[in-house]
Structure 1
Amino acid sequence: MLKDKLLELLAPEVAALGYELVELDAPGTGGSGTLRIYIDREGGITVDDCERVSHRISGVLDVEDPIPGHYVLEVSSPGLDRPLRTETHFRRQLGHVAKVVLAPGRPGRRRYKGRIAGIEDGVLALEVDGERVDLALSDIESARLVPEF
């Protein structure tokens, strides 16, 4: 998968600059689109941080050329509705509300919204309507925090 290849290629480059590659959205297979990179670090992200990372990974993408066709590169902070992908991401957000979408092809419900109750051995525990729901991280297509005000 293109996304996995890009994560493997770009995460070390982003980390070398002192940031975490939180998530990325790869362009579609049609040969054009947008590559969105979400970065973070303690203390938050500035426009200068985004520019620094953009410059670094642009060079890597030019050399490695993993994306066929034309695309636009965007680098930004993950925002209030930050994506959640790894056990570490979910662990940092214990007690917060998240929306989770499971990959297609699984029987039953695909969308959940609930409070993150725990994460262990690749299994996310969500508190949904007073019930605990266990979801394998490998079954999750996407997950995002729900901003609470």
Structure 2
Amino acid sequence: MAKNKLADIVEGLVAPVVEEMAMELVDVEYVKEGSQWYLRIFIDKTGGIFVDDCQAVSQKVSRLMDEKDPIPHAYILEVSSPGLDRPLKKAADYERFCGYEVVVTTYAPFNGKKSFSGRLDGLSEQGVIINVDGTEYVIPVDQVASARLAVDI
């Protein structure tokens, strides 16, 4: 669950702005796709995110980024909700979504598998606890490549 350093810097700058707007900063991504750099801000709030919320956050973050100038080159700013398959990034996410269906992938095989779909039973000092068809797995956090809410189609 490593993050690049610039995304960490931006997250530190943006989190207070998003929180003062009564929203939650879910994640910050700073990635290069093709020849373009993208700064993606994912936000959420009780009742869900609307286009007006994204626009308001985008305007404030854009002004903040212009003022602080932590990114030395051109990029595209995108603000959106995390989607139905919301990523679980923080310890509070694992607590909040305990009992929900999730998909956890690992960097390397763990107990012979790299993907686990089941019920999230929490987070302990030993790792992410997931129940897959009655079998409990405790996956060390440093082995988790991603954890997301499962989308039931």
Q: TM-score, normalised by structure 1?
A: 0.84
Separation (CA, whole Å) in 2 of partners of 1:52 and 1:122: 39
Contact 1:87 1:122 in 2 (8 A): no
The amino acid of 2:121's aligned partner reads A
Please tell me whether residue 135 in structure 1 is matched to residue 139 in structure 2: yes
CA RMSD in angstroms, aligned pairs only: 2.3
Please tell me whether residue 4 in structure 1 is matched to residue 24 in structure 2: no
| Aligned-pair CA distance for 1:87 | 1.6
Contact 1:32 1:69 in 2 (8 A): no
Structure 2: stretches of 5+ with no match in the other structure: none
1:66 counterpart SS class: coil
Please tell me whether residue 60 in structure 1 is matched to residue 32 in structure 2: no
Contact 1:34 1:71 in 2 (8 A): yes
Structure 1: stretches of 5+ with no match in the other structure: none
Separation (CA, whole Å) in 1 of partners of 2:141 and 2:15: 19
Divergent runs of 4+, >6 A: none
Q: TM-score, normalised by structure 2?
A: 0.82
* Matched ranges for 1:69-108 at <5 A: 69-102=73-106, 104=107, 108=110
Aligned length: 147
| Aligned-pair CA distance for 1:29 | 9.3
| Aligned-pair CA distance for 1:124 | 1.4
Map of 2:43 onto structure 1: 39
Alignment CA distance shift 1:30-1:79 (3 Å):
closer
